[in-house]
Amino acid sequence: MSEKVAAERVMLSPYAVAAWQSMCERISSFVKERNLPLEQVGQEELWLQNSGSLELRVRVGPLSMKMDVPPEHWHWRKNN
């Protein structure tokens, strides 16, 4: 079972941030190629997995694009 987490509560490693930025670029290309309205791009969501990894998700139209962040590439913010 996974739990939704507020983005403000976590910090990503530089590696995870670079990977997420790359995924956002792919999402942008996908949207442009299909001429989708920006309203079809949802807000990113973070989900804590039982394994300790963090799953980043974003809905684009009917699709859900996901990226897993291993436990060693994220941590809780100290003031959370």
Evaluate whether residue 80 is within a structural domain.
no
pTM beyond 0.85: the answer is no
**Domain residue limits at 29:** 3-74
For range 4-23, the mean pLDDT: 96
Torsion of CA 65, 69, 77, 2, to 10 degrees: 70
Write the pLDDT tens digit of every residue in 23-68: 999 989 988 999 989 899 999 999 999 999 999 999 988 888 999 9
Evaluate whether residue 48 is within a structural domain.
yes
Per-residue model confidence (pLDDT) at position 72: 97
Domain count, the chain: 1
For range 64-79, the mean pLDDT: 94
Per-residue model confidence (pLDDT) at position 80: 56
- Residue 27 burial class via C-beta count within 10 angstroms: exposed 0-12, middle 13-18, buried 19 and up: middle
